[in-house]
Amino acid sequence: MSRTERAANLAGVVVPFAGVLIAIVLLWSSWVDGIDLAILAVMYLATAMGVTVGFHRLLTHRSFRVDPWLERTFAGLGQLSVQGSVLDWVADHRKHHAHTDVEGDPHSPHVGHGSGLSGLWHAHTGWLLETQGQADWKKYARDLYEDPKMKRMGRRFPLYVLMSLLIPTLLGFVLHGFTWQGALRGYIWGGLVRIFLVHHVTWSVNSVCHYFGTRRFDIEDRSTNVFWLALPSLGESWHHNHHAFPRSAKHGLKRTEIDLSALIISGLQKVGLAHDVVVISPERQAEKALPPQRTKIPA
C-alpha cells in the first residue's frame, strides 16, 4: 500500500469520527431535528444498500442479475458509502472468500495479527492501513476489470466521495430554508455521521462476525451469525450463513433471521427488475447442518 493510499484511508477513518464528536456537541445544544435525522436515515439506507445489495450480493457473488443500468446504479450507491472503489471492494471480498481465516485473508481477526483485541482491531480497522485495495483486480475481479464502464466508475471514486458529502449538504441547505446552518447540519448528519455508521457496521461484519456469535453449518472457517447486527447491517450479519452458501441472495435463511437486503432483492424480482435469484433449498441447508451441541462458539 502506498503512502498516499494509507493517508487517504486514515482520513476516511478519522474525519467521520471527528464528525461524530461534533454531532455530540450539536445534540447537547439541541441543534438537530427531524429533517437532520431524515437526511441521515435516507443517506444511510441508500449507501448501505449500495454495499449490501450492490457491491456484495450482486457484483461480488452474482446472487442475482439485473440490467446494466441498474447494476451501475447499485455500484454508484456503493461507492457513495466511501468504502473504496467498486473494483477494490469486490476484489478484496472475493479474496476474503478465497482465503477465509487463513493466510491471504485481507481482514481476518485470526491470521497474522495475534489474537484477541489485536486481531479484532486488524479485522475492523487496521487492515485499511495495510491490505485494503491490494487484491489483484485481474485475478479477483476480472469481470469488472474488463467492463469499461465499471472500470471508469472505479477510477472516479474520489468524485463519488465528494458527492457523498455534497448531496446531504445540499439537502440540508434546501430543507432548512436555504441557510448555511442547514447546509452544515446536512453535511455533519447526512455526511460524516452517516459515513461513520455505515463504515463501522460494515467493518463489524469483518471483525465481530468472525469472532463472536453462533454457527449452524459444518464449514472450516470461523465466520459467525450475530443477530443484534442484523438490522443495521441490512442482513449482512448472518455472515456464517453467507459463508456456508456464498451465492445465496438471502443471508437470513430462517424466517426469524431478519434480512432487509433479501427483501429488497425479492421486491426487485417481483417487479421484474431482478432475475436468476439464487435460492438455497432446505435440503442443501440440512446437508451442511452442524449437530446442535456445536452451534455456539466461545466469545
- 114 has a pLDDT exceeding 80: no
Residue pointed to by grid coordinates 450475530: 226
User: How much is the average pLDDT of 229-252?
Assistant: 97
What digits encode the pLDDT tens for the residues 81-92?
A: 999 999 999 999
Residue 206: per-residue pLDDT: 94
Above 70 in pLDDT, residue 225? yes
34 grid coordinates = 427531524
Query: What percent of the chain shows pLDDT beyond 90?
Result: 78
How far apart are the C-alpha atoms of 167 and 79, rounded to whole Å? 13
Helix/strand/coil for 219? coil
Say whether 82 sits in a helix, a strand or coil.
coil
- Give the pLDDT band of residue 299 (cuts 50, 70, 90): very low
Reference 242, options 216, 212, 268, 267; nearest CA is 216
CB-based contact 264:274 (threshold 8 Å): no
Tell me the pLDDT tens digit for each residue of 258-293: 999 999 999 999 999 999 999 999 999 999 988 765
Three-state secondary structure call for residue 275: strand
Rg over alpha carbons for the chain, rounded to the nearest Å, is 19
d(CA 46, CA 42): 6
The three grid cell numbers given for residue 202, joined into one nine-digit string = 460494515
Mean pLDDT, residues 26-47 taken together: 90
Please report the sign of the dihedral spanned by the C-alpha atoms of residue 148, residue 9, residue 140, residue 289: negative
Exposure string for 254-283, b = 16+ CB within 10 A, e = fewer: eeebbbbbbebbeebbeeeebeebbebeee
